[in-house]
Amino acid sequence: MDIYNTKRRKIKCVRNDDDVWGGGGENHHLLEVGKEYTLEDILVHSWHTIVYIKEFPDVEFNSVAFEEID
């Protein structure tokens, strides 16, 4: 996923396991693989990137759980 594109858009969950380095991985059990979510915000850090989605306000997810939808 393009972590430098901060525009709100649809993204798709591609993994929901907790085997993720950095922040946000502990919440992946809330996600459904294959489901589309609405990107609200992205915070890029040096080793990981946090994603906020509309469906779970104020909950952090790691960007590796998502991919772009064409």
What do you get for the CA distance between the two ends of the chain, in Å? 11
Tokens of residue 29, six digits: 């059990």
Q: What is the mean pLDDT of residues 8-20?
A: 88
* pLDDT tens column, 20-67: 655 566 788 899 999 999 999 999 998 889 999 999 999 999 999 999
User: Of 4, 2, 16, 7, whose CA–CA distance to 40 is shortest?
Assistant: 7
Of the two residues 6 and 35, the one the predictor is more confident about is: 35
The pTM for the full model equals: 0.86
Question: DSSP 3-state assignment of 26?
Answer: helix
Res 9 pLDDT > 90: yes
What pLDDT, on the 0 to 100 scale, is given for residue 26? 76
Instruction: Tell me how far apart the alpha carbons of residues 37 and 13 are, in angstroms, rounded to a whole number.
Output: 7
Comparing 13 with 26, the larger pLDDT belongs to: 13
Read off the amino acid at residue 2: D
